[in-house]
C-alpha cells in the first residue's frame, strides 16, 4: 500500500499573519502553496481578499488563485478536486506542499471528504430565495436558528447560500444539515497533514483587522467593487456578499454617502475572526504565533521527512 502524501496546513483567523508566515516557510522549504481561500479564487477580487501580490507569487508558486470568473459559482466540491490535483502535481515534482488560508470549510473538506447531502429541492430553494431577496433574510436566519441551531451558530446571518441550503434540507427532508454533517463517515483522509493555526491575542488581532480595513479602503477597495459590478458581477452572488464586498455594494447602492463604511467592514470582520477562532479550536491544530517561522520550519522538515 502506497504511503499517503504528507502536506502542511497553515491557517488562522483573518489578518492573523498566516500568509506572511507561510510565504517565509515556503521559501525556506522550496515549497509550493495551495490557497484555501474561497474568495481568492475569483479574478478581480484582489484588494479585499488580501490576495498575494504578483511579486510574492513570483517568489513561491501559488495555486488556486484567479481560477474563476466573478460570474462563476465556485464551491467546496470544485476546490477539493482542484486542490487534490495540485497536490498530486506538486508531489510529483518532489516539492513540499503547503495549504494556506482561512476558509476552514475548504480545509476540512480537503482533509476529511465531502458530504453530498440530500438532493436539491428546486421548489423549496426557489421559495427560500424569493423570500431572501424580498427582504426576509433575518426571518429566514431565525427560522434556521429554530430548526437547526448548530448550523445557524456557525453561519453569518448574511450567508445566503448556506442558510438557504440548511432550510432547504430541513423543509424538504425534516433532517438537520448539521446532524448529517456530524454523522457523515468520511472514511479517512487521503493525506497525512500537520495543521498549524496562527494565533494572536484578541485585542491585537482586532487592532490588525481595523488597520488592514483602513489600508484596503485607501488602496482602492471601493473602486475595485465598482469595477466588478460594471463587469457584470451580480451584487447578490456569493462572492459579492463576502465580508467587506457586501458592505461596499450596499454603500454604493445608497449613493456612497455612508461615513460608517470602514467601521461596518471592520466590525463584520472582527465577528468573522471570532468564529474562525472557534472553528480552529475544534480542529486540533498546533497553535503558533506569526513570528514562529523558525519553529514551524524545524517541525515541518521533520514531518515532511526532509532531514
Q: Give the closest residue to 17 by CA, choosing from 100, 75, 108, 97.
A: 100
SS3 60: coil
SS3 32: strand
**b (16+ CB within 10 A) / e for 76-101:** beebbebbeebbeebbeeeebbbbbb
User: What are the φ and ψ backbone dihedral angles of 47, each rounded to 5 degrees?
Assistant: -70, -50
CB distance 128 to 164 below 8 Å: yes
Q: Give the closest residue to 101 by CA, choosing from 34, 43, 45.
A: 34
pLDDT by position in tens, the chain (length 307): 457 899 999 999 999 999 999 999 999 999 999 999 999 999 999 999 999 999 999 999 999 999 999 999 898 889 999 999 999 999 999 999 999 999 998 998 899 876 656 777 888 888 898 898 888 888 999 999 999 988 888 787 888 888 988 898 888 888 888 777 666 544 457 899 999 999 999 999 999 999 999 999 999 999 999 999 999 999 989 899 999 999 999 999 988 776 799 999 999 999 999 999 988 888 888 999 999 999 999 999 999 988 6
Locate 275 and state its grid cell. 468564529
Q: Give the closest residue to 197 by CA, choosing from 27, 17, 37, 7.
A: 17
The structural architecture, per CATH, of the domain 122-183 is: Orthogonal Bundle (1.10)
The CATH number assigned to the domain with range 6-114+185-303 reads: 3.40.50.300
Q: Where are the domains of the chain?
A: 6-114+185-303, 122-183
Give the angle subtended at the CA of 288 by the CAs of 283 and 294, to the nearest 5°.
135
| H helices, E strands: number in the chain | 14, 6
Alpha-carbon gap, residue 42 to 64, rounded angstroms: 9
Amino acid at each position: 500500500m502506497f504511503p499517503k502524501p504528507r502536506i502542511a496546513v497553515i491557517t488562522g483567523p483573518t489578518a492573523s499573519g498566516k500568509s506572511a508566515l507561510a510565504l517565509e516557510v515556503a521559501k525556506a522549504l522550496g515549497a509550493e502553496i495551495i490557497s484555501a481561500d474561497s474568495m481568492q479564487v475569483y479574478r478581480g477580487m484582489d484588494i479585499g481578499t488580501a490576495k498575494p501580490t504578483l511579486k510574492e507569487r513570483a517568489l513561491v508558486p501559488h495555486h488556486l488563485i484567479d481560477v474563476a470568473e466573478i460570474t462563476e459559482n465556485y464551491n467546496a466540491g470544485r476546490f477539493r478536486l482542484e486542490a487534490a490535483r495540485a497536490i498530486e502535481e506538486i508531489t510529483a515534482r518532489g516539492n513540499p506542499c503547503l495549504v494556506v488560508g482561512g476558509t476552514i470549510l475548504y480545509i476540512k473538506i480537503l482533509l476529511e471528504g465531502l458530504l453530498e447531502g440530500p438532493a436539491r429541492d428546486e421548489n423549496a430553494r426557489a421559495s427560500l430565495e424569493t423570500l431572501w431577496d424580498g427582504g426576509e433574510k433575518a426571518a429566514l436566519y431565525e427560522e434556521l436558528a429554530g430548526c437547526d441551531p448548530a448550523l445557524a451558530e456557525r453561519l453569518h446571518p448574511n450567508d445566503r447560500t448556506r442558510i438557504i441550503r440548511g432550510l432547504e434540507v430541513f423543509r424538504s427532508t425534516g433532517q438537520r444539515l448539521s446532524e448529517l454533517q456530524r454523522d457523515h463517515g468520511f472514511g479517512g483522509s487521503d493525506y497525512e497533514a500537520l495543521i498549524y493555526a496562527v494565533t494572536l491575542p484578541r485585542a491585537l488581532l482586532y487592532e490588525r483587522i481595523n488597520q488592514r480595513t483602513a489600508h484596503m479602503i485607501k488602496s482602492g477597495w471601493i473602486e475595485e467593487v465598482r469595477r466588478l459590478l460594471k463587469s457584470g458581477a451580480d451584487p447578490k452572488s456569493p462572492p459579492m456578499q463576502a465580508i467587506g464586498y457586501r458592505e461596499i455594494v450596499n454603500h454604493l447602492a445608497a449613493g456612497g454617502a455612508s461615513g460608517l463604511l470602514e467601521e461596518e467592514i471592520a466590525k463584520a470582520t472582527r465577528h468573522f475572526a471570532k468564529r474562525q477562532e472557534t472553528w480552529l479550536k475544534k480542529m486540533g491544530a498546533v497553535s503558533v504565533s506569526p513570528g514562529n517561522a523558525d519553529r514551524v520550519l524545524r517541525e515541518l522538515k521533520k514531518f515532511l521527512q526532509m532531514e
